[in-house]
Amino acid sequence: MARLKVVTVVGARPQFIKAAAVTPELRRFADEILVHTGQHYDRELSAAFFEELGLPEPDVNLGVGSGSHGVQTGAMLCRLDPLLARERPDWVLVYGDTNSTLAGALAAAKLGIPVAHVEAGLRSYNRAMPEEQNRVLVDHLAARLYCPSEAARENLRREGITDGVRVVGDVLDDALALVPDRPEVVAELGLERGGYYLATVHRQENTDRPERLRGILQGLSALDAPVVLPLHPRTARRMAELGLKPPGRSIRIVPPQPYGATLTLVRHSRAVLTDSGGLQREAGALGIPCYVLRDETEWGELVASGRAVLVGAEPDRIVAAVRAGAARGRPGAGRGAAARVVRDLVGVAHA
């Protein structure tokens, strides 16, 4: 039986984590060409993750860098098209909902190469979000759709997508096992275990609307314990442009953290406050309460089960929800999604 040829397209921090869970399994059965679009390029958002997670060096880096969504996605398409035309893989594998996901799927579909999408079927139903646009478009282009949950499968069914849909679980649950706990990180940041909150803010809807960014910082600074805030470069730049400084002294701003340190900070926190999809799930899987700094989430199951609570960006609402202990952490990880993705992809190719 000939080995499969798969081009995997990644580009942003969360995709390196997901690929680190899938790639070792995939390479047992397939020849993988790992393509990095270059969407994330700072060491702390990119190379540091490859090293820490043992992800093989990308075979190709397209070096697109930052830009408006259209320019960035277009640059990726221009560079992916000749590469895919030359390599002619059996599959193009993409993860999640970033511009790199869309470019990988669209470039492949235009060449008639089948697309496999990991994290299919998620919907926030907010079409103003670039990530929601990417999710919907990629799911409508994909031939194999790997859903983390039955709810995601149901979202696809409502859009008329039923062929090639598989519920496999969440590959991030597999990634949790790739890095050891590093409890010393907590003390190094001058924090006590169980005595702080972990917060992150990087979504465009929060960073590009000053009233939301200001409201979130106000809310965080009014909590009853210190808040550690690893800052995405986009958020740092917006805060500098707006002259925004967190009020009071309880917010500790630190650079973006490596994966192991982030999981450690989640594990030992009182609660997580975030607009990141990945962190919502990591908190959920590790049994830590999560407050979502958005008005809707594509991870509705976490809200339905009480693990996560939507708190938006108004300070009073954020503080009241945390004070009331509105979110209830309960461990819920189930491993094996990465192996299920690979088994299915190999099976369908050889069927």
User: Token pair for residue 264?
Assistant: 């450690």
350 in catalytic set: no
User: Token pair for residue 316?
Assistant: 């009073």
Considering only residues 300 through 329, tell me which ones interact with ligand UD1, judged by CB under 6 A: none
Least distance (Å) from ligand UD1 to the CB of residue 9? 12
Using CA atoms, how far apart are residues 319 and 326, in angstroms rounded to an integer? 11
236: Cβ–Cβ under 8 A, 6 or more apart, which residues?
Answer: none
Least distance (Å) from ligand UD1 to the CB of residue 168? 21
Considering only residues 222 through 241, tell me which ones interact with ligand UD1, judged by CB under 6 A: 233-234, 237
Considering the complex, state which of residue 173 and residue 275 has its C-beta at the smaller distance from ligand UD1.
275
Single out the segment in contact with ligand UD1 by CB under 6 A; choices: 19-27, 96-104, 289-297, 299-307: 96-104
SS3 154: helix
Catalytic residue chosen out of the listed positions 40, 117, 202, 232: 202
Least distance (Å) from ligand UD1 to the CB of residue 106? 14
Rule CB under 6 A: say whether 130 interacts with ligand UD1. Answer: yes
Rule CB under 6 A: say whether 41 interacts with ligand UD1. Answer: yes
- Beta bridge partners, 118, equal 95, 146
Least distance (Å) from ligand UD1 to the CB of residue 142? 17
Near ligand UD1 by CB under 6 A: residue from 8, 39, 218, 269: 39
Tell which phi-psi region holds residue 122, choosing left (phi > 0), alpha (psi between -120 and 50) or beta: beta
Helix 69-87 vs helix 99-110: angle between axes, to the nearest 10 degrees?
40
User: Token pair for residue 296?
Assistant: 């809707």
Single out the segment in contact with ligand UD1 by CB under 6 A; choices: 97-105, 292-300, 310-318, 327-335: 97-105
Near ligand UD1 by CB under 6 A: residue from 28, 66, 78, 325: 66
238: Cβ–Cβ under 8 A, 6 or more apart, which residues?
Answer: 207, 208, 213, 244
Least distance (Å) from ligand UD1 to the CB of residue 318? 20
309: Cβ–Cβ under 8 A, 6 or more apart, which residues?
Answer: 289, 290, 291, 292, 303, 321, 326, 327
For the chain, the residue count is 351
Which parts of this chain interact with ligand UD1 (CB under 6 A)?
12-14, 39-42, 45, 66, 97-99, 130-131, 202, 233-234, 237
